[in-house]
Amino acid sequence: MLKDKHPLEAGNIADIMANIGKVAAASARQLAIVGNEQKQAALIGMAESILRNRQAILSANALDMKAAKKSKLSKAFMDRLKLDEQRIEAMCEGIRAIAELPDPVGTVIAEWDRPNGLHIERVRTPLGVIGVIFESRPNVAADAGALCLKAGNAVILRGGSDSFHSTRAIHQCLVEGVEKADLPPGCIQIVPTTDRIAVGEMLHGLGGTIDVIIPRGGKSLVARVQQEARVPVFAHLEGLCHVYIDKSANLEMAKNIVVNSKMRRTGICGAAETLLVDSKVANAYLPQILQALSKAGCQIRGSKEVQAIYPQADSAKQEDWSTEYLDAIIAVKLVDGIDGAINHISKWSSNHTEAIIAEDAMAVERFFNEIDSAILLHNASTQFGDGGEFGMGAEIGIATGKMHARGPVGVEQLTSFKYRVRGNGQIRPN
Amino acid sequence: MLKDKHPLEAGNIADIMANIGKVAAASARQLAIVGNEQKQAALIGMAESILRNRQAILSANALDMKAAKKSKLSKAFMDRLKLDEQRIEAMCEGIRAIAELPDPVGTVIAEWDRPNGLHIERVRTPLGVIGVIFESRPNVAADAGALCLKAGNAVILRGGSDSFHSTRAIHQCLVEGVEKADLPPGCIQIVPTTDRIAVGEMLHGLGGTIDVIIPRGGKSLVARVQQEARVPVFAHLEGLCHVYIDKSANLEMAKNIVVNSKMRRTGICGAAETLLVDSKVANAYLPQILQALSKAGCQIRGSKEVQAIYPQADSAKQEDWSTEYLDAIIAVKLVDGIDGAINHISKWSSNHTEAIIAEDAMAVERFFNEIDSAILLHNASTQFGDGGEFGMGAEIGIATGKMHARGPVGVEQLTSFKYRVRGNGQIRPN
């Protein structure tokens, strides 16, 4: 690691980071007025460079994997860290898909005329400089770099120490693509040290040069970022997603959606963690649904009322209603219709994604109106809570805050806007 | 003042504020699902109550005015504080206009279908709880209260100590309107103490209940809020607005727009502070324009090149380029065409509002594309940088940040959004 080779003292790190901020701000100003073709060329160049240099990337990744093995990091961690030919190709595919997206910058979002003849347009602009702080997955460097560039933003990448060699190798390819398209290399920078002081500097905004921080990783990383950041943050801390089965639900559909919401992938933020069932249909529906979950390998933790109907269930404790398992475990509770469901979800939800399975339109409308989560689904799996599934092409994460970006953060969410007002000599009367 | 009657200790204040936060959050949840008619009724009730109780409001204001006189507060301050029949009527007019605005909540901003049959809608939702911290103008209580309510948000008002009696009297009327429409009085609360500890509590978010803080007041208030707030802030610190006169400008139009931009009202944030003139037309244009400004009562501070053409100008120093005078003073400089204008504005602007006077479409496009301010105007006065002039009905301020709200903050900007996804049994394939 660079840290070992060139010991950087705290003072040096602050200087290095301040300089990275300045370079990013200057690059962002240049990038903001670049057309779509040039950005597309840079993105395609990035994908080509990654493909051409895949052996070097795999060698760098092997170094990280060796160190991870030595440090006895978990199997799940090693899986997130590992790169192979297939994952490298997927990374390139992702970048190419982003290249093909329409350019959000310059898009007129709204326009109107005033009685005095002024014509007002609200137009998308880049946000400026985005700091991305991530952990083990090296592909985040490629996804985040490509999305930020497409939206006209400079990005400062700070990967985890365990993926340092891999992300540095990928970053070199990204810069190659950027430079080939005659864009400033400062558009995509990487923090050259794994010292945590550098993260602290980023969270303080590098002298006002960083416009937003996006953390990608586990709960402790996101919590640290949310607590310490002095600049806006797009983040989700947890995806504590609920599925509610109304008495009007179609049983077969409910069963399929619950199993898919929980078990398709248990480790993603859109996976369901709590199942709420209308007590009016509990006797009729619960056994089949819980058997299907169990058959799919899911552990069931139920309230007493659930255990009375399905004795195989383990006991759910209070803490189960607030736990994001990210595993093949589900907490199950009976509720008193749509009111009970809304109350439970409003109390425990992390405001990420919730689904209602129902045929009763009134219940659906109340669920949609009264629950304040980023994504609400009717008769569909919570696993659709994803930017790609929304047709946004790619996402840098799901934001659970209510400011600026909410839900999947794709290229559009990485932009701001400004007003352009055209007149012909208007002055404002007193 | 309440503070004198019931001495509140720091511990008490924290408890009182925490309770205000809880009440606001609970009220916000109720208000979020209320229809437009009920909100309209509340707003009309608010206006009626203010009109009916205008003598009580004027008496409260007289107390504040007397204290202000005793404290020898400035004439400008006293003018902002003062209420009279006309100002009270204007306040009611403002609330009635907000009542008539379309309800932003529930509006579908975008909708699309996915190949798998999912129908996705992006729908406006309230933000939640808004903290408004303001200084001397008592009418801010009415404007902010009405705008927040229309957008479905609960608001916590904290007025300056010098306007304490006036804002409390107005607040009582607002609550009367809210209660008459069967909405919870907690929708509009006022901080019952002028102790600054209460502001600190608000800036820390009252236990996660405040979603955004909006400061309305002078630079030191806004700076304190921006520095200390641990929740998002919609604010503008300064309106350092520029007018650039291109060589292609119509001289007569340029003269009118410059005089209006600077002198219509010098104390508002959209007032021009710096005039940039293309050096190619300086000899031909500058004398007439500066004479017109001077005749309107404006003091001119020019660079050496400006003084060479117009010797009556005082000397501009470096600090003049970064000074928001809010007074009848203008700083004037020659620049080398559109490039020079863009460079100067990018360096010194507060990203609020800038105008270009030009007939050359290319110069206008470059100005619009390359300058990253909230509002850019072509051939129109900077004094149009205002929510009312934009047709937004009313504004709570102009945001100069790039997150969420930018430019005039009206009802739409006081909302967030969520996604509603309708399916018919879709599960996500592996």
Minimal C-alpha gap between A403 and chain B (Å): 6
Distance CA B186, CA B206 (A): 15
As a whole number, the mean pLDDT across chain B is 94
**In this model, does residue A7 exceed pLDDT 90?**
no
Show the tokens assigned to A381.
Answer: 């799996």
Across the interface, which of A128, A368, A380 has its CB nearest the CB of B118? A380
Q: A389 and B428: CB-CB below 8 Å? A: yes
Minimal C-alpha gap between B364 and chain A (Å): 9
Distance CA B142, CA B57 (A): 12
Give the model confidence (pLDDT) of A89-131 as tens digits.
999 999 999 999 999 999 999 999 999 999 999 999 999 999 9
Q: What does residue A257 show for φ and ψ, rounded to 5 degrees?
A: -70, -40
Is residue A133 a contact partner of residue A202, using CB atoms and an 8 Å limit? yes
Give the model confidence (pLDDT) of A177-208 as tens digits.
999 999 999 999 999 998 989 999 999 999 99
Give the whole-number percent of chain A exceeding pLDDT 70: 97
Across the interface, which of B120, B128, B372 has its CB nearest the CB of A390? B120
Distance CA A231, CA B90 (A): 38
Distance CA A394, CA A406 (A): 15
Please report the beta strands in B247-373, taking only residues with DSSP state E, as ranges in sequence order: 272-278, 299-302, 314-315, 329-335, 353-357
Q: A112 and B391: CB-CB below 8 Å? A: yes
> In this structure, is the dihedral angle defined by the CA atoms of residues B248, B252, B258 and B260, taken in order, positive or negative?
negative
Task: For an interface test with A, give the residue of B261, B346, B426, B430 to mutate (most A CBs within 10 A).
Answer: B426
Show the tokens assigned to B29.
Answer: 């949840």
Q: B381 and A428: CB-CB below 8 Å? A: yes
Q: A428 and B212: CB-CB below 8 Å? A: no
Size of interface A-B (CB pairs under 8 A): 182
**In this model, does residue B6 exceed pLDDT 60?**
no
Q: B417 and A423: CB-CB below 8 Å? A: no
- DSSP codes of every residue in B56-113: HHHHHHHHHHHHHHHTT--HHHHHHH---HHHHHHHHHHHHHHHHSPP-TT-EEEEEE
Cβ within 8 Å of B, A 207-226: 211-212
H-state helical runs in A114-218: 139-150, 164-180, 196-203
Is residue B162 a contact partner of residue B410, using CB atoms and an 8 Å limit? no
Task: For an interface test with A, give the residue of B268, B353, B417, B420 to mutate (most A CBs within 10 A).
Answer: B420
Give the model confidence (pLDDT) of B118-170 as tens digits.
999 999 999 999 999 998 889 999 999 999 999 999 999 999 999 999 999 99
The CA dihedral of A134, A140, A141, A147, to the nearest 10 degrees, is: -120
Q: B407 and A418: CB-CB below 8 Å? A: yes
CA atoms within 13 A on the CB side of B42: 27
pLDDT score, position B1 = 38
**In this model, does residue A209 exceed pLDDT 80?**
yes
The angle subtended at Cα B210 by Cα A217 and Cα B398, nearest 5°, is: 95
pLDDT score, position B2 = 41
Q: What is the pTM of this model?
A: 0.92
* DSSP H/E element including A95: helix A85-100
Cβ within 8 Å of B, A 260-299: 260-261, 264
Residues of B in contact with A404 (CB under 8 A): 403-404
Cβ within 8 Å of B, A 105-164: 106, 112, 114, 118, 120, 125, 127-128
Residue of B nearest to A253 (CA): B425
> In this structure, is the dihedral angle defined by the CA atoms of residues A392, A163, A262 and A339, taken in order, positive or negative?
negative
Residue of A nearest to B370 (CA): A33
The amino acid occupying position B305 is E
Collapsing DSSP states into helix, strand and coil, what is residue A286?
helix
Q: B418 and A212: CB-CB below 8 Å? A: no
**In this model, does residue B369 exceed pLDDT 90?**
yes
A389 touches chain B (CB under 8 A): yes
pLDDT interval class at A4 (50, 70, 90): very low
A419 touches chain B (CB under 8 A): yes
Across the interface, which of A370, A403, A407 has its CB nearest the CB of B232? A403
- DSSP codes of every residue in A311-326: TTSEEPPGGGGG----
Is residue B181 a contact partner of residue B45, using CB atoms and an 8 Å limit? yes
Q: How far is CA A87 from the centre of its chain?
A: 19
Q: A418 and B33: CB-CB below 8 Å? A: no
Across B351-378, average pLDDT: 97
pLDDT score, position A236 = 84
Residue whose structure tokens are 């898919």? A260
Residue whose structure tokens are 């559109």? B338
Residue whose structure tokens are 């117009």? B310
Q: A403 and B384: CB-CB below 8 Å? A: no
pLDDT interval class at B16 (50, 70, 90): very high
B376 touches chain A (CB under 8 A): yes
A117: left (phi over 0), alpha (psi -120 to 50) or beta: left
pLDDT score, position A392 = 86
A315 touches chain B (CB under 8 A): no
Is residue B202 a contact partner of residue B173, using CB atoms and an 8 Å limit? no
Burial label for B29, CB within 10 Å (0-12, 13-18, 19+), is middle
Minimal C-alpha gap between B315 and chain A (Å): 28
Is residue B92 a contact partner of residue B143, using CB atoms and an 8 Å limit? no
Minimal C-alpha gap between A303 and chain B (Å): 27
Domains and CATH numbers, chain B: 2-234+409-419 (3.40.605.10), 241-384 (3.40.309.10)
Minimal C-alpha gap between B2 and chain A (Å): 34
pLDDT interval class at B4 (50, 70, 90): very low
pLDDT interval class at B10 (50, 70, 90): low
Collapsing DSSP states into helix, strand and coil, what is residue A329?
strand
The residues near A99 (Cβ < 8 Å, ≥ 6 apart) are A39, A40, A43, A44, A47, A146, A150
Distance CA A105, CA A130 (A): 16
**In this model, does residue A81 exceed pLDDT 70?**
yes
B76 touches chain A (CB under 8 A): no
B343 touches chain A (CB under 8 A): no
Give the model confidence (pLDDT) of A381-396 as tens digits.
999 999 989 988 788 9
pLDDT score, position A1 = 38
The amino acid occupying position B308 is A
pLDDT score, position A10 = 61
Give the whole-number percent of chain B exceeding pLDDT 90: 88
Across B62-69, average pLDDT: 96
The interface predicted TM-score of the complex, written ipTM, equals 0.92
Q: A420 and B29: CB-CB below 8 Å? A: no
B375 touches chain A (CB under 8 A): yes
Is residue B178 a contact partner of residue B28, using CB atoms and an 8 Å limit? no
